[in-house]
Amino acid sequence: MTRSVCGRALGFPVELRYLATPVDELCRRLEVRNRQGAPGTAPVGRELLEECLRLFQAPGDDELALFDEPLS
């Protein structure tokens, strides 16, 4: 049996870092990744990315308030 312990209970800060990256940059990075064709990866095109982005919800201030401020 495994036991989950919150980092705060162990005295560590708990951070959430969210970076809002423009869609064009995400597409550029995916193009590079797709060209590399690393084992275990599947190609992701702009259409799939945009479909996923329609479902994604960036963290709001209320959610960010649940975490500690990043140390750096």
pLDDT tens readout for residues 34-61: 999 899 999 999 999 999 999 999 999 9
Residue 2: its pLDDT value, please?
55
* Lowest-confidence segment of 2-6, 48-52, 65-69 by average pLDDT: 2-6
* Lowest-confidence segment of 2-11, 17-26, 38-47 by average pLDDT: 2-11
Query: Contact, 59 vs 65, CB < 8 A?
Result: no
Alpha helix (H) residue ranges in the chain:
23-36, 46-55, 61-64
| Contact residues for 16 (Cβ-Cβ < 8 A; gap 6+) | 59, 63, 64, 66, 67
The model's pTM is 0.69
Query: How much is the average pLDDT of 21-35?
Result: 96
